[in-house]
Amino acid sequence: MRIDLQVSLADCLKEQEQTIEVPYDLECEPCNGTGAQDGTALEICKTCGGHGQVTMGSGIIRMTQTCGRCRGRGKMIKKSCKRCKGRGLRQEIKEIKLTIPAGIDHGNRLRLKGKGGAAPSGGTPGDLHVVVHIEEHETFRREGEHLACELKVDMITAAIGGQVSLDGIDEDLNVEIPQGTQPDDVITLRSQGMPRLNSPSSRGNLYVQISVEVPRHLSKEQVAHLKAFRELAGR
């Protein structure tokens, strides 16, 4: 069986337990999975004579295939089970606990052995495959173990340097803006990315691309100061 699981980017930072609801097809008890009322309302298929297969052709060329009337069962339902309507199965929702490892990425698959659907004739149940989908984050873009984002900085801070606060996924970060930072410069914050899968103590980097904001509305005093700065800069 396969199900899809949506998790947030924050959910991938640390190992965590989650409980999911899984719909299972189980054998219908009243008909013992036959689909027939009381499990006995069956008759031999007239097309295949109860063999479940039919042979077509004549002479040397003959072909055996599954009986299309009884679909290989060899028997036909005379009266359907009232509970399962002839399916032979009933659906039940079960809660399954699973561990989401730190650093899991979009498209990764978790395998839960023996938690899949019931096997025919009482055989061993199959496995449950949980395919993980990471929700898009409003600020951060994931690139494997690394993260990337854009940070808006006013032109004064970009020119003279300083600290700018950045809302991180799990904690706030202070980004040091070097003096003379240019638009689209990238500042690397090491070990502030995503945990590495199977090595959660090690994290990737966070790459911060700088967007310099230029004010649209200036007072006369601000314009005067900027003109004075331009003269000092010899421009």
Same fold, 2-41+78-134 and 141-232: yes
> Which backbone phi and psi does 190 adopt, to 5 degrees?
-70, 145
pTM of the shown model: 0.71
The CATH number corresponding to 2-41+78-134 among 1.10.1740.10, 3.30.2350.10, 3.40.1160.10, 2.60.260.20 equals 2.60.260.20
Closest to 37 (Cα-Cα) out of 75, 9, 77, 93: 77
Residue with tokens 């980097």: 205
pLDDT confidence band for 233 (50 / 70 / 90): confident
Residue with tokens 């055996």: 64
3-state secondary structure at position 11 = helix
pLDDT of 122: 57
Share of the chain above pLDDT 90, in %: 55
Mean pLDDT computed over 213-223:
91
pLDDT of 207: 98
pLDDT tens for residues 124-171? Answer: 788 999 999 999 999 999 999 999 999 999 999 999 999 999 999 888
Superfamily for domain range 141-232: Urease metallochaperone UreE, N-terminal domain (2.60.260.20)
pLDDT tens for residues 84-134? Answer: 877 777 788 999 999 999 999 999 999 999 998 876 555 678 899 999 999
The pLDDT mean for the chain works out to 88
Residue-range domain boundaries for the chain: 2-41+78-134, 141-232
Check whether 30 has a pLDDT greater than 80.
Answer: no
